[in-house]
Amino acid sequence: MRKVGLLPRTMKKYPHEFSGGNGSASPSRARLPLSRRLIIADEPVSALDVSIQAQIINLLAQLRREMKLTIIFISHDLSVVKHISDRIAVMYLRKDR
């Protein structure tokens, strides 16, 4: 929890219990892998305002570098995908393109 900027006591909270300023805490509720090196992030920033999106994206990028993680980042927002990704695959009409 500290690695993502939260106090350990917040670990037992549900996402709706965070205030608007801490609403970005819900993605951090997913536990960081201890022995695994893969995170699947399905629309992790879709319902957040732009400034909070940037914080989450920067945090994911930092964790990716520091922990040598692979992140499968699923999103409809291609500008966000472009910013965070090394490689991109696009699905269109349920087909890989």
- pLDDT on residue 2: 63
Higher-confidence residue: 47 or 97?
47
- Domains, the chain: 2-96 (3.40.50.300)
pLDDT category at 40 given cuts 50, 70, 90 is confident
Tell me the DSSP string of 3-60. Answer: GGT--GGGGG--GGGS-GGGGGGGGGGSPPPSS--EEEEESTTTTS-HHHHHHHHHHH
pTM above 0.75, yes or no: no
